[in-house]
Amino acid sequence: MQIYLPIAELPVSIFLILGLGAAVGFISGMFGVGGGFLMTPLLIFIGIPPAVVVATGTAQIAASSLTGSLAYWRRRALDVKLGSVLLAGGLVGTVAGVAFFNSMRRVGQLDLVITLSYIALLGSIGSLMFVESAKALISERRGAAAPSRRAGQHPWYAFLPFRMRFHRSRLYVSVLPLLVLAFTIGFIGSVLGIGGGFLMVPALLYLFRVPTAVVIGTSLFQILFTMMAAVILHAVTNQSVDIILGIILVVGGVFGAQFGARAGKNIRGQQFRLLLALIILAVGVRFGSEIALRPDEPFSLGPQEIRP
């Protein structure tokens, strides 16, 4: 069944989009990531203009992260204080990101920026997580105790000024590195149409040693609010948010996420990280092959904008 998207200005199969939403929602529920880093490339691949994909994807991420946040909130696995600090940085980053997005679109380099950023991000994060979790799994097999967090063992940036105590996360760190982290992720998120959970989760885990239990809930909480802001900013500044596409993605996504969340409960921490790393790497390789291999068709058409 085909449905016409009024902003993207093309007809799409409603079941294809629902299926994509559900599949990405499943992964998103399983790993507590927004899933945007999978959704954006997939939608671009089926022919929806990148600008519409990025702007609309933010709405889908907002919906799925609300569902996720509520679930973690009920389990009390969410650090509101830490989330709010991250949110402050994230909002500023989002505003800057949307402005950058619009200017890149004007000069016609948006596609290249999106592709290169994906390769850099997915490649580096994926490899780091893969190596780390593989090491951990191997040492676990050998019977060695997994290195646990010891009190008083903090990296240098935790001692910058404006230190704050986060009880639920068992954290006492400066807010400055947290704000920088959140700004960066908010910026990247609004440019690439991703929530940034796949960046936020490992950053909080490895850089700040936030306990695994609260990482996902807190990350979802922060994503929820930055993505709400991103939807409105995209709608106001570039009119690329397609509400019909958004609704289909949201409906598919929320159902997928529920089943994903159930599946996720049965996976242990190390396996969880290894799996997530593999998914991230696979998407990175897909993007990488796109620009590393000799293209079948070296020519491509830029967007044609009709002057009214």
Give the footprint of other proteins on this chain (CB under 8 A): 2-4, 6-7, 9-11, 59-60, 62-67, 70-71, 74-75, 108, 111-112, 228, 231-237, 239, 241, 243-244, 246-247, 250-251, 254-255, 257-258, 291-295, 297-307
CB of 119 to other proteins, least distance (A): 9
Closer Cβ to other proteins, 181 or 249, answer by number: 249
HSE-CB for 206 with a 13 A CA cutoff: 13
Q: Which is nearer to other proteins, 113 or 137 (CB)?
A: 113
* Minimal distance, residue 263 CB to other proteins, in Å: 13
CB of 157 to other proteins, least distance (A): 33
With H, G, I as helix, E, B as strand and everything else as coil, classify residue 181. Answer: helix
Give 1 or 145: the residue with its C-beta nearer to other proteins.
Answer: 1
Q: Least distance (Å) from other proteins to the CB of residue 117?
A: 14
Cβ-contact 110, 272 below 8 angstroms? no
* Dihedrals phi, psi of 49, to nearest 5 degrees: -55, 135
Burial class (CB in 10 A: 0-12, 13-18, 19+), 30: buried
**Buried (b) or exposed (e) across 251-277, using 16+ Cβ within 10 A?**
bbbbbbbbebbeebeeeeebebbbbbb
Q: Is 132 exposed, middle or buried (0-12, 13-18, 19+ CB in 10 A)?
A: middle
Q: How far is the CB of 224 from other proteins (least distance, A)?
A: 8
**Beta carbon of residue 125, minimum distance to other proteins (angstroms, whole number):** 19
Closest to other proteins by CB, 82 vs 229, is 229
Cβ distance to other proteins smaller for residue 7 or 175: 7
Q: Checking phi first, is residue 152 left (phi over 0); if not, alpha (psi -120 to 50) or beta?
A: left
Beta-carbon contacts of 192 under 8 Å, excluding residues fewer than 6 positions away, are 36, 37, 40, 54, 114, 117, 118, 121
Report in angstroms how near the CB of residue 154 gets to other proteins at its nearest.
34
Residue 208 or 287 with smaller CB distance to other proteins? 287
CA distances from 174 to 86, 165, 217, 221 (A): 12, 9, 21, 20
Taking the least distance from each CB to other proteins, the nearer of 173 and 250 is 250
CB atoms within 10 A of CB 108: 11
